[in-house]
Amino acid sequence: MILMAGLGNPGAKYQNNRHNIGFMAIEAIHRRHRFSPWRQRFQGLTAEGTIGTQKVLLLVPGTYMNESGRAVGEAMRFFKIALGEVIVFHDELDLPPAKLRVKTGGGNAGHNGLRSITAQCGNDYRRVRMGIGHPGDKALVHAYVLNDFAKAETPWVEDLCGACADHAELLGAGDDPGFQNRIHLAMEGRGWGDVKRVGEKDAPKP
């Protein structure tokens, strides 16, 4: 079994926050692949289903972001899921909006959800890094990630999450480069090749 977990904060207050794009991706996968209804366990919400030939457990932690590792760890231990079969969807400040990269292990870049998972479970899990852009000043990061996506951002957010759902079978099969490439092509095809962060202006021409 593979565990696909999305990171975010629970509750309606945070539902559309940039920090919750991981939740949004998991919800899109749940809808697209007709998983079982959500049920409460492992300090969060889970659903079981099949993507391609792989059995998959979806997890949306009900802890706050800083304690995400508790929920992920409980699910891993219960189903005896290896760390390499854990896939975490999360927001990534260091990628431009609408970009996506997949990597295994590495640093946590100040992301408290990743830090919690690493502390509870180990570091070498797979990360689907969903770009939201950086506000340009470290002092602005907290407010930026805990603000809702602007109305103008909603179309690319929905397309990115939809593309993750469309091509999730590649992730399940362990083809991370193939998944990443399909997402890139899908987003380019929808016109999201060069998305500016809200409020960001084009660099002045020389």
| Residues recognised as catalytic | 19
What are the tokens at 115?
């830090």
Taking the C-alpha atoms of residue 175 and residue 183, their distance in angstroms, rounded to an integer, is 12
Taking the C-alpha atoms of residue 11 and residue 22, their distance in angstroms, rounded to an integer, is 14
Dihedrals φ, ψ of 41, to 5°?
A: -170, 170
Taking the C-alpha atoms of residue 161 and residue 86, their distance in angstroms, rounded to an integer, is 18
Query: Which is it for strands 86-92 and 100-104: parallel, antiparallel or unpaired?
Result: unpaired
The number of angstroms, rounded, from the C-alpha of 111 to the middle of its chain's C-alpha atoms is 12
Residue 91: its H or E element: strand 86-92
Residues 6 or more apart whose CB falls under 8 angstroms from that of 85 comprise 1, 2, 3
